[in-house]
Amino acid sequence: MTIEQILDDFSYLDDWEDRYRYVIELGKALPEFSETDRSPANKVEGCVSQVWLKTRAESRDGKTVLTFTGDSDAHIVRGLIAILFAIYSGHSPEEITATDAAAIMSQLGLKDHLTQQRSNGLHAMIARIRAEASAAAAA
């Protein structure tokens, strides 16, 4: 699913409860995340929930792109991970560092409906993805 599809789907959902359910459904659609990938190296610090993100660099059409996999023990956080992957996965490190995911989350209205702890966790996930992109760009 692309971020454009998610933005479009959100535009049809007026009620926050419907949007909340939709985010949870996005999380349910994430691919399985292996137990071996639930390692300290993949754990995202700064999240109240357990969150793991794994980054893989690959070459597509002569340029490096990053793809992400991840998981959380919280349903809504899994959905936030799915949205972040729609924003960032499959893009070059330069595109990732130039993309303002917080602004996109604001467009979705999520910023106003997340607890402070969830917002902090979301920012930690964004920071982790951007740090991985910066490291890949420097390599």
Catalytic residue positions, numbered: 47
**Cα distances (Å, whole numbers) of residue 24 to 38, 64, 87, 123, 139:** 21, 31, 17, 19, 35
**Amino acid making up residue 106:** S
SS3 labels along 13-46: CCCHHHHHHHHHHHHHCCCCCCHHHCCHHHECCC
DSSP state for residue 111 in the 8-state scheme: G
